[in-house]
């Protein structure tokens, strides 16, 4: 180090010293005893802007705003200086005086550090710190620093407000896992991920406010580690998303409600289509199926009216019998129409009860046995007495009557109809099997559909509406059952339906 006692006039040493000074970042100025500048290094020109010939032999006091600094020796001092452009700036100065052997001052060496960059850097650091403090105070999200063992070091005002505490000092006493986390295990999971990855982003957790209310937050944090990699603290941000979560839940509920409304609209549309199909079916039946029996009624009644005196007793009896059968067909058709109408409008009342299906079938067999006897058809009820089902008696009676009537209609003379039952675990399967004409494969799907019209005459040319099986399907389904058919053309058909055995 150059001191006031080792500066020599030796030209070789002086030349070496001056060259050395040009490599220093510090500003070096050497003056004589009259304070005239004898030497400046390259850093002087860089900071002050003067060329060597512009400043040499000039008084150094022109560079100082405070001339007293020139008399300072051996101490670091802060002084104000001025450059070529007249710009004032602060410098750190140390003055060393070079003396001769008798102690007289020969030269003064000024070591100067330009503080402009340092001052600017400190200003920027101060502004940055102020901005951070302002951000820390004003940001609406909670900012915190905590220890790995779960103690808060600092929390901004937004965080204090988030947790519902009166002051930061009160909040800093809280244990994070036990007092603030809704589920303490979340703190453990969060900490493990922080230690593993060094950071955690958008970790969704529930936290508890001081008053016990629950808030949902997204937590993003990173681990602060020393040079050895040891975690010193965690710093993070807490964003309250409770309102967004509530909005999301409401939106999800709204979408679900819209979905339900949409389903209802689709169902209403389907029901409307079915209603239109039912209306078309109704008009088709009225226009087509009522026409034939009424034509017979009108025709035979006109014969009786116009030719009564010319007709024999046998012809009168035959006409009367035909009129009776046509009226009976109309009556059955109107009965089915009336019941089907009540089903469509929801006016039919289903009152399920435990009933003996064998007894119900016996009653229907007795009701229709005359029709069967006219065609010499054997009606056999194989259902064991006290076979119990849980169903509405009136509607199931209509189902059995329709199925038996159809079996009689499509079974030729000397045929056989058998009614039986197969008991399953939770239901009973009742079947009506005949030795009739059977059904074409392509017609099976049309039997229970409202949008198709399938009607045929019986083996004795009995009339029908095509409505009976559709009514059977709806009545069976009203009783929580199903109906189906198996048939082979020319060999007969078996219609089956299921009913629950208990409520």
List, as one string, the DSSP characters of 19-56: HHHTT-SSEEEEE-TT-BEEEE-HHHHHHH---HHHHT
pLDDT of residue 469: 86
CATH code for the domain of 475: 3.30.565.10
Is 142 within 8 Å of 165 (Cβ atoms)?
A: no
pLDDT above 90 coverage of the chain, percent? 31
pLDDT of residue 377: 93
pLDDT of residue 213: 92
Top pLDDT among 408 and 337 is at: 408
- pTM above 0.85? no
Tally of structural domains, the chain: 4
For the segment 473-497, what is each residue's pLDDT rounded down to a tens digit? 989 999 999 999 999 988 999 999 9
Asked whether residue 230 falls in the same domain as residue 312, the answer is no
pLDDT bin (cut points 50, 70, 90) of residue 71 is low
Asked whether residue 475 falls in the same domain as residue 495, the answer is yes
Work out the average pLDDT over 44-54. Answer: 89
Confirm whether 329 is domain-assigned.
no
In terms of residue numbers, what domain contains 13? 6-120
For the segment 321-363, what is each residue's pLDDT rounded down to a tens digit? 878 767 776 776 677 677 667 766 677 788 999 999 999 999 9
Residue finishing a domain among 120, 149, 174: 120
- Give the number of residues written for the chain: 503
Whether residue 221 has pLDDT greater than 70: yes
Mean pLDDT (the chain, rounded)? 84
Q: How far apart are CA 48 and CA 45, in angstroms?
A: 5
Confirm whether 331 is domain-assigned.
no
> How many C-alpha atoms does 418 have within 13 Å on its Cβ side?
9
Confirm whether 306 is domain-assigned.
yes
pLDDT above 70 coverage of the chain, percent? 85
* Range of lowest pLDDT (93-107, 322-336, 378-392, 458-472): 458-472
Residue finishing a domain among 202, 221, 243: 243
Asked whether residue 289 falls in the same domain as residue 219, the answer is no
Asked whether residue 177 falls in the same domain as residue 272, the answer is no
Asked whether residue 305 falls in the same domain as residue 423, the answer is no
Whether residue 384 has pLDDT greater than 90: yes
CATH code for the domain of 65: 3.30.450.20
Asked whether residue 273 falls in the same domain as residue 196, the answer is no
Whether residue 8 has pLDDT greater than 50: no
Burial class (CB in 10 A: 0-12, 13-18, 19+), 245: middle
For the segment 54-64, what is each residue's pLDDT rounded down to a tens digit? 889 988 888 88
**Distance between terminal CA atoms of the chain?**
109
Asked whether residue 172 falls in the same domain as residue 250, the answer is no
Confirm whether 126 is domain-assigned.
no
Asked whether residue 10 falls in the same domain as residue 84, the answer is yes
pLDDT bin (cut points 50, 70, 90) of residue 1 is very low
Burial class (CB in 10 A: 0-12, 13-18, 19+), 305: exposed
Asked whether residue 210 falls in the same domain as residue 265, the answer is no
* Range of lowest pLDDT (137-141, 188-192, 412-416, 417-421): 137-141
Asked whether residue 29 falls in the same domain as residue 172, the answer is no
pLDDT bin (cut points 50, 70, 90) of residue 387 is very high
For the segment 254-284, what is each residue's pLDDT rounded down to a tens digit? 888 888 888 888 888 887 887 777 667 666 6
pLDDT of residue 417: 95
Asked whether residue 27 falls in the same domain as residue 79, the answer is yes
Q: How far apart are CA 261 and CA 267, in angstroms?
A: 10
Confirm whether 332 is domain-assigned.
no
* Range of lowest pLDDT (80-94, 118-132, 473-487): 118-132
pLDDT of residue 396: 93
Residue finishing a domain among 194, 213, 243: 243
Of 410, 373, 479, 495, nearest to 444 (Cα)? 495
Is 400 within 8 Å of 367 (Cβ atoms)?
A: no
Asked whether residue 217 falls in the same domain as residue 309, the answer is no
Q: Where are the beta strands (DSSP E) in 83-198?
A: 88-99, 105-114, 142-146, 152-155
Confirm whether 333 is domain-assigned.
no
Confirm whether 131 is domain-assigned.
no
pLDDT of residue 411: 92
Q: How far apart are CA 484 and CA 482, in angstroms?
A: 7
pLDDT of residue 287: 59
In the sheet that 152-155 helps form, which strands lie side by side, from edge to edge?
152-155, 142-146, 231-240, 214-225, 199-208
Confirm whether 343 is domain-assigned.
no
CATH code for the domain of 254: 1.10.287
Q: How far apart are CA 148 and CA 194, in angstroms?
A: 10
pLDDT of residue 461: 56
Whether residue 7 has pLDDT greater than 60: no
């Amino acid at each position: 180090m150059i001191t006031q006692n080792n500066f020599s006039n030796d030209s070789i040493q002086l030349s070496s010293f001056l060259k050395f000074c040009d490599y220093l970042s510090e500003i070096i100025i050497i003056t004589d005893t009259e304070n005239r500048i004898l030497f400046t290094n390259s850093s002087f020109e860089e900071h002050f802007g003067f060329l060597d010939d512009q400043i040499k032999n000039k008084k150094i006091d022109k560079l100082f705003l405070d001339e007293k600094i020139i008399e300072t020796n051996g101490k670091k001092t802060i002084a104000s200086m001025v450059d070529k452009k007249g710009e004032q700036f602060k410098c750190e100065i140390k003055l060393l005086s070079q003396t001769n052997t008798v102690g007289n001052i020969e030269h003064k060496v000024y070591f100067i550090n330009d503080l402009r960059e340092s001052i600017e850097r400190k200003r920027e650091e101060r502004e940055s710190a102020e901005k951070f403090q302002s951000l820390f105070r004003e940001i609406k999200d909670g900012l915190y620093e905590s220890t790995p063992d779960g103690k808060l070091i600092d929390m901004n005002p937004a965080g204090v407000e988030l947790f519902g505490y009166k002051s930061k000092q009160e909040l800093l006493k809280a244990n994070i896992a036990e007092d603030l986390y809704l589920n303490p295990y979340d703190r453990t999971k969060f900490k493990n991920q922080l230690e593993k990855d060094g950071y955690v982003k958008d970790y969704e957790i529930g936290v508890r406010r001081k008053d016990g209310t629950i808030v949902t937050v997204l937590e993003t944090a990173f681990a602060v580690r020393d040079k050895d990699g040891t975690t010193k603290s965690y710093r993070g941000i807490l964003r309250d998303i409770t309102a967004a979560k509530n909005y999301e839940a409401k939106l999800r509920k709204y979408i679900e409600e819209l979905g339900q409304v949409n389903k209802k609209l689709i169902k209403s549309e389907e029901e409307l289509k079915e209603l239109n199909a039912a209306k078309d079916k109704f008009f088709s039946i009225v226009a087509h199926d009522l026409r034939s029996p009424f034509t017979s009624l009108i025709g035979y009644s006109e014969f009786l009216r116009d030719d009564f005196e010319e007709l024999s007793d046998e012809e009168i009896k035959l006409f009367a019998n035909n009129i009776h059968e046509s009226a009976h067909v109309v009556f059955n058709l109107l009965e089915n129409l009336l019941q089907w109408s009540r089903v469509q409008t929801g006016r039919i009342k289903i009152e399920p009860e435990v009933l003996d299906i064998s007894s119900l079938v016996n009653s229907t067999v007795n009701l229709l046995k005359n029709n069967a006897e006219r065609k010499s058809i054997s009606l056999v009820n194989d259902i064991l007495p006290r076979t119990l089902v849980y169903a509405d008696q009136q509607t199931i009676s209509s189902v059995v009557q329709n199925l038996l009537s159809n079996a009689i209609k499509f079974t030729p003379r000397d045929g056989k109809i058998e009614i039986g039952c197969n008991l399953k675990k939770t239901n009973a399967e009742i079947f009506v099997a005949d030795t009739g004409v059977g059904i074409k494969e392509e017609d099976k799907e049309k039997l229970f559909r409202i949008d198709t019209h399938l009607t045929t005459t019986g083996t004795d040319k009995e009339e029908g509406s095509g409505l009976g099986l559709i009514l059977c399907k709806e009545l069976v389904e009203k009783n929580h059952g199903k109906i189906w058919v198996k048939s082979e053309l020319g060999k007969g058909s078996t219609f089956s339906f299921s009913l629950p055995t208990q409520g």
